[in-house]
Amino acid sequence: MQRIALHTRLKPGREAEYDRVHQVIPAELASTLRAAGVHTWRIWRDGPDLFHLVEVEDYQRMRHELRDHPANVPWQARMAELLEVRDDYSGNDSGLSLVWELPTDGEETA
């Protein structure tokens, strides 16, 4: 399982609309995400900045599977109205780089 962190940014003034749109995710999209290997997808917002944590079997495969999926295409079109920068769902990205993580009990730190 992979844990992928992502950062996206909203267009100015779109915070409330983004929050409202995410109150109910279409059931078909949720089942498509699960079928593509997503276990969880969490989003935090700080003003216009969005931070995502995705737990997924294979991030690149998931991105490729969703790119042209009929449940995802309209959702991505809606997100394009709200987000500053959109990607092409190529799956070539690997998310944010991990800088530090609290070691689990028993692990030594340098």
The position carrying tokens 């920068």 is 85
| Proportion of the chain above pLDDT 70, given as a percent | 91
Number of domains in the chain: 1
38-46 sheet: strands from edge to edge? 2-9, 49-56, 38-46
Report the range of poorest mean pLDDT among 12-21, 34-43, 66-75, 96-105: 96-105
Classify residue 48: in a domain, yes or no: yes
Classify residue 60: in a domain, yes or no: yes
Classify residue 55: in a domain, yes or no: yes
Give the CATH number, domain containing residue 37.
3.30.70.100
Encode burial over 19-31: b for 16+ CB neighbours within 10 A, e otherwise: eeeeeeeeeebee
Classify residue 99: in a domain, yes or no: no
- Enter the pTM of the model: 0.87
The token pair that represents 45 in the structure block: 């917002």
Q: What is the mean pLDDT of the chain?
A: 92
Q: How confident is the model at residue 33 (pLDDT cuts 50, 70, 90)?
A: very high
Classify residue 100: in a domain, yes or no: no
Interval 39-73: pLDDT, tens: 999 999 999 999 999 999 999 999 999 999 999 99
Query: Cα separation of 93 and 2, whole Å?
Result: 13
Classify residue 73: in a domain, yes or no: yes
Q: Kindly state the average pLDDT of the residues 70-82.
A: 96
Residue range(s) defining the domain that contains residue 56: 2-82
The token pair that represents 104 in the structure block: 């689990």
Q: What is residue 91's predicted lDDT score, i.e. its pLDDT?
A: 66
Q: What is residue 4's predicted lDDT score, i.e. its pLDDT?
A: 96
Classify residue 21: in a domain, yes or no: yes
For residue 5, give the nearest of 108, 103, 110, 100 by alpha carbon: 100
Kindly give the pairing relationship between strand 38-46 and strand 2-9: unpaired
Classify residue 93: in a domain, yes or no: no
